[in-house]
């Protein structure tokens, strides 16, 4: 039986979710004007996280600095991010998807795969049920999605990226030649900018041109692993299953782009403490621990540098993560280059308790763990700003007024 896979992608998710909330409350629809989700308009800090179609006509791009976007469109309306709203809307649309098939894979906060294989008795026309899901999400939740239909995940994913918004598209094997192969090679899912440039410089301009090459030629240009994947994708080959249960997160990370350059160790350490406090709390909420801590810095020369340390025993204790981050930072920074970004990552994640320490070390760690859990509980009940570690009390990091964290609970 040929597989039937849906890929459902929310159109401009963060902005759509904010707009739907406002429309429900009787306010104007910001999707109809040049608007975006981003940072602070007055201070011109942060980046564009999502944009409306009218904003796109001004050349505004996701990920570009707020200041650059405002130069392109001085009247751009900016709304601040609301991650609690995003999580709520994400769950709501995926709950609707699960009513049509039990096999739903959450691919990201705003997109998922549905394995509709074998549902032909209930839904004999896959295109009709795709429209039903799409229209129901809009009717009940107030935002639009694109639905891509194909015999595997890569083709469903490519189909959902065709014309937007609020569309259903198919990409079956007999449609690849007409619908996918004429597209620019950089439009193929998983091809990054540098890979696209190498292919284009070699005269490979379209997905069809890539598909027609022999595998060894592609691998010679891009490397064995990447070459095999993109060559398969260009030919519509993707046997990967839709995973009903999400994979365990392989890492937790947090970073902050700084409004003002950091030029002192003292200031950097305060930021590191706030980052360590936040990312370790998220990891503890999942009952996980990390064997590895990494620190990333970016100077005002826009060059990134990173360093990591692996523990003998996994940890979820804020103070241990913070002290290690400070040490890594001191090894990374030349104390001359002003810093624009600081980040902490926790990897090599485990759910097991492998602690094997002396009684006195264990006693100290248990006190630290109880303190962390008490702070987590207070913040969970009364908000993240209700309790602040003493080192950051009354600092510019308190209540997040000056530094806006860009957080990713990522699958690396």
Reported as a single tens digit per residue, the pLDDT across 254-312 is 888 777 889 999 999 999 998 998 889 888 888 899 999 999 999 887 788 999 998 88
Residue 262 in 3-state DSSP? strand
- Greatest mean pLDDT among 42-51, 223-232, 298-307, 396-405 lies in 223-232
Provide DSSP, 23-46.
Answer: HHTT---GGGSSEEE-SBTTTTBS
**What's the rounded Cα separation, in Å, for the pair 406 and 258?**
11
Mean pLDDT to the nearest integer, 84-102: 92
Q: Can you give the pLDDT at residue 121?
A: 84
User: Taking the model in full, what pTM does it have?
Assistant: 0.63
pLDDT band at 141 (very low <50, low <70, confident <90, very high): very high
H or E element in which residue 142 lies: none
Read off the pLDDT of residues 397-408 as tens digits, 9 standing for 90 and up. 443 333 333 333
8 Å CB contact between 21 and 141: no
Residue with tokens 């030629």: 217
Mean pLDDT to the nearest integer, 75-81: 91
Q: Can you give the pLDDT at residue 257?
A: 78
Read off the pLDDT of residues 202-213 as tens digits, 9 standing for 90 and up. 999 999 999 999
Longest dimension (CA), the chain: 69
Q: Can you give the pLDDT at residue 312?
A: 82
Tokens of 161: 């990226």
Among 292, 294, 293, 297, CA closest to 267: 297
pLDDT band at 353 (very low <50, low <70, confident <90, very high): low
Residue 103 predicted with pLDDT over 50: yes
* Contacting residues for 126 by C-beta, under 8 A, at least 6 apart: 4, 6, 116, 120, 149
Residue 54 predicted with pLDDT over 90: yes
* DSSP label of 387: -
Task: Provide, rounded to the nearest whole percent, the portion of the chain with pLDDT above 90.
Answer: 58
pLDDT band at 44 (very low <50, low <70, confident <90, very high): low
Q: Can you give the pLDDT at residue 309?
A: 92
pLDDT band at 245 (very low <50, low <70, confident <90, very high): low
Q: Can you give the pLDDT at residue 160?
A: 96
Compute CA 296 distance to the chain's CA centroid, rounded to the nearest angstrom: 18
Among 277, 403, 290, CA closest to 351: 290
From residue 161, how far is each of 7, 91, 145, 242, 263 by CA, in Å? Answer: 10, 22, 11, 19, 43
Q: Can you give the pLDDT at residue 212?
A: 96
8 Å CB contact between 280 and 409: no
**What's the rounded Cα separation, in Å, for the pair 222 and 218?**
6
Tokens of 2: 């040929």
Q: Can you give the pLDDT at residue 120?
A: 85
To the nearest whole number, what is the mean pLDDT of the chain?
A: 85
* Contacting residues for 121 by C-beta, under 8 A, at least 6 apart: none
**What's the rounded Cα separation, in Å, for the pair 365 and 29?**
51
Q: Can you give the pLDDT at residue 108?
A: 85
**What's the rounded Cα separation, in Å, for the pair 153 and 301?**
40
Q: Can you give the pLDDT at residue 246?
A: 55
Read off the pLDDT of residues 153-194 as tens digits, 9 standing for 90 and up. 999 999 999 999 999 999 999 999 999 999 999 999 988 888
Residue 395 predicted with pLDDT over 80: no
Mean pLDDT to the nearest integer, 72-101: 91
Domains located in the chain, CATH noted: 1-172 (3.30.70.270), 181-234 (1.10.150.20), 251-408 (3.30.1490.100)
Q: Can you give the pLDDT at residue 192?
A: 82
Residue 145 predicted with pLDDT over 90: yes
Task: Provide, rounded to the nearest whole percent, the portion of the chain with pLDDT above 70.
Answer: 83
Residue 394 predicted with pLDDT over 60: no
190-194 LR contacts (CB < 8 Å, sep 24+): 190/229, 190/230, 190/233, 191/230
Q: Can you give the pLDDT at residue 299?
A: 87
8 Å CB contact between 35 and 77: yes
Among 379, 323, 317, CA closest to 353: 317
Q: Which residues are catalytic?
A: 111
79-83, 344-348, 405-409, range with the lowest pLDDT: 405-409
Q: What strands, in cross-sheet order, belong to the sheet with 111-115?
A: 104-108, 111-115, 5-10, 145-150, 168-170
């Amino acid at each position: 039986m040929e597989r039937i896979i849906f890929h459902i992608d929310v159109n401009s998710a963060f902005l759509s979710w904010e707009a739907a909330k406002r429309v429900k409350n009787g306010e104007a629809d910001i999707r109809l004007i040049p608007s975006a989700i981003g940072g602070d308009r007055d201070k011109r800090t942060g980046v564009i996280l999502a944009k409306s179609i009218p904003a796109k006509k001004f050349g505004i791009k996701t990920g570009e600095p707020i200041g650059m976007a405002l130069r392109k469109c001085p009247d751009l309306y900016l709304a601040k991010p609301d991650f609690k709203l995003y999580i709520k809307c994400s769950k709501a649309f995926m709950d609707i998807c699960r009513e049509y098939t039990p096999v739903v894979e959450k691919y990201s906060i705003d997109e998922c795969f549905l394995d509709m294989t074998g549902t032909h008795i209930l839904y004999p026309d896959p295109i009709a049920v795709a429209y039903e899901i799409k229209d129901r999400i809009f009717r009940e939740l107030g935002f639009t999605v694109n639905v891509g239909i194909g015999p595997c995940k890569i083709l469903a994913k490519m189909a959902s990226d065709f014309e937007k918004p609020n569309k259903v598209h198919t990409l079956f094997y007999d449609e690849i030649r007409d619908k996918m192969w004429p597209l620019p090679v950089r439009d193929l899912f998983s091809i990054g900018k540098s890979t696209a440039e190498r292919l284009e410089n070699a005269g490979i301009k379209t997905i069809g041109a890539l598909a027609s090459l022999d595998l060894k030629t592609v691998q010679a240009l891009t490397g064995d692993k990447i070459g095999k994947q993109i060559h398969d994708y260009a030919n519509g080959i993707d046997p990967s299953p839709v995973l009903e249960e999400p994979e365990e997160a392989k890492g937790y990370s947090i970073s902050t782009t700084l409004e003002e350059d950091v030029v002192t160790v003292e200031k950097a350490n305060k930021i590191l403490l706030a980052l360590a406090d936040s990312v370790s709390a998220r990891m503890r909420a999942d009952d996980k621990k990390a064997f590895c801590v990494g620190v990333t810095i970016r100077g005002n020369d826009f060059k990134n540098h990173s360093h990591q340390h692996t523990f003998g025993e996994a940890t979820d204790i804020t103070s241990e993560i913070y002290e290690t981050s400070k040490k890594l930072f001191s090894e990374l920074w030349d104390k001359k280059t002003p810093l624009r970004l600081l980040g902490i990552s926790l990897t090599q994640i485990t759910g097991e308790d492998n602690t094997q320490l002396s009684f006195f070390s264990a006693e100290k760690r248990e006190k630290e763990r109880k303190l962390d859990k008490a702070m987590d509980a207070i913040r969970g009940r009364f908000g993240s700003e209700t309790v602040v570690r003493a080192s950051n009390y009354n600092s510019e990091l308190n209540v997040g007024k000056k530094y806006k964290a860009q957080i990713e609970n990522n699958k690396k």
